[in-house]
Amino acid sequence: MKKTTQFKNLLQSSGLEFILEAHNGMSARIAEEAGFKGIWGSGLSLSAQFGVRDNNEASWTQVLEMLEFMSDATTIPILLDGDTGYGNFNNMQRLVHKLEQRDIAAVCIEDKLFPKTNSFIKGDAQPLADIDEFCGKIKAGKDAQRDDDFSIVARVEAFIAGWGLQEALRRAAAYHEAGADAILIHSALSVPDEVLAFKREWGDRCPVVIVPTKYYATPTDVFREHGFSICIWANQMMRAAIGAMQQTAKSLLEDENLLSVEDRIVPVSEVFRLQGAAELQEAEKRYLPKSAQGVRAIVLAASRGTELGELTETKPKAMVEIGGTPLLSHITTAYNAVGIKKITVVRGFGKQMMDLPGPDYVDNDEFADTGELFSLQTALAKLDDEQDTIISYGDVLFNKYIPQALSEEKDEFVIAVDTNWRESVNRHRLADYVRCSHPNSRQAFGSRIVLERIGADLPEGAIHGEWMGFLKVGRTALPLLREMLEEILATPEGRRAKMPVLLNELVSRGRPVRVIYTTGHWLDIDSLDDVVQAGSF
């Protein structure tokens, strides 16, 4: 169906319809994906995205160029906020021609003088256009259109200018007689009294459109009951975008890194998708980090987590809810965000409750008498040696950049180390501290830093950081890992061994374990306080 016909149907619908403001191709596509049947090409928002005032400071040709991108990006109709028509009747005719060429369905013009000023800036001081002159502009636009379904909406500013109901009705009647397909009645009050009074008097002579920016608290059913045709959400997309950009800009300035914002902004792949790239898969191969595409993860989640008391009486620690979502779900989501889709989870205590869709599961039914290395061996028994593997715990929340950074390293063995280790000491909890070949410093920048020892008993003067529970093993090193696990687990004490035993054994055998230093952006759930803190992670 033609876009002009779609919009005409919205005007003539028996129920209340809604259209959403957009100001560029991206926001227009988002509006359509959200389910809106039409788009409002807001003069305020189009001006704002150019960084100029809503006073016709952006030329009509600049507006037209942006509209073309919006039209190309969508299949739903666009109603342009055409201000005063950008001039006299002659400008109006040329505008209609150019809008039709770009598949724009309709234009709304307001009865003020060119150049216009936004209605919410001292509206009562703004002069209105001569009625006859404005009617001539409407007639010129209707005569110029080639598509019979192209619509012209006449916007009445009498209430904005303080001229009252009778003047609003008089102008609306004249504009309707001149050929306007609909009337947009505007008000700056915080209550809908003016527009409701207008609709009661106007009746059903032609469709009536409203913009409840100021009287936003009014229940939508009130508009339905009074028989309005279209309700325009007129500037919320732009205002929401401004708030998000301000917050992001402030964080980047204060933190001087991307770590604080990456987890709350969309990935680049979502930008590609909204751009409508037919070659999306090829684009992901080109732009997403190549290393993450060939990486899998093993999550060790067999333990109950008795330290959490009643929370883990019947369900495993990895299924404790953080912000209403199981901890394991947070973990898999973070891996998925960097392209790591193949995830194997080792279950144990309460395994029947660990059934989230997505990961593969293997069971350590001897979880009560075995340790982390036994669980790791159980997982590897189900896997081949064709992919690099990141091993992590089922009780650690983390930002996605951590597995991303690990996957990009080429070394056979790589761990992530938090330099903010003193926080663990202050919390009086056990932690896996590490001593490395170099402490984190400017002098060490560019140096290849490797692990020297890991343990909870390191003297404070020898501590360079805290191991975060991540070990990346390159696929060429997986046979060695299997061999070492077999040897360690052959002893009774080895069956209960934890991951640090493996790391120290690697060091003792002269196998370098590469260290990536970072600071914060992870949280291991060791106590009820951690559960509370994790809610805002």
Task: Let me know: does 515 contact 449? Beta carbons within 8 Å.
Answer: yes
* DSSP letter string, 226-275: TT-SEEEE-SHHHHHHHHHHHHHHHHHHHH-SSTTTGGGS--HHHHHHHT
Distance CA 282, CA 199 (A): 54
Which amino acid appears at position 68 of this protein?
Answer: E
Q: Is 519 helix (H, G, I), strand (E, B) or coil?
A: coil
Q: Is 118 helix (H, G, I), strand (E, B) or coil?
A: coil
Catalytic annotation present for 54: yes
Per-residue DSSP letter, 403 = H
Among candidate residues 342, 329, 337, the one with its CA nearest the CA of residue 298: 342
Distance CA 211, CA 224 (A): 14
Catalytic residue, chosen from 54, 149, 395, 526, is 54
Distance CA 519, CA 517 (A): 7
Distance CA 378, CA 364 (A): 7
Per-residue DSSP letter, 72 = H
Bond prior to 512 in cis (omega within 30° of 0)? no
Q: Which residues neighbour 125 within 8 Å (Cβ) at sequence distance 6 or greater?
A: none
Token pair listed for 185: 């009645």
Q: Please report how the helices 43-50 and 236-255 are oriented relative to each other, as an axis angle in degrees rounded to 10.
A: 30
Distance CA 181, CA 267 (A): 43
Task: Let me know: does 408 contact 400? Beta carbons within 8 Å.
Answer: no
Q: Which residues neighbour 146 within 8 Å (Cβ) at sequence distance 6 or greater?
A: 97, 100
Distance CA 183, CA 167 (A): 14
Q: Which residues neighbour 497 within 8 Å (Cβ) at sequence distance 6 or greater?
A: 371, 372, 373, 374, 488, 489
Which neighbouring-strand residues pair with 295? 388
Determine if residue 323 is left, alpha or beta; phi over 0 gives left, psi from -120 to 50 gives alpha, anything else beta: left
Residues noted as catalytic: 54
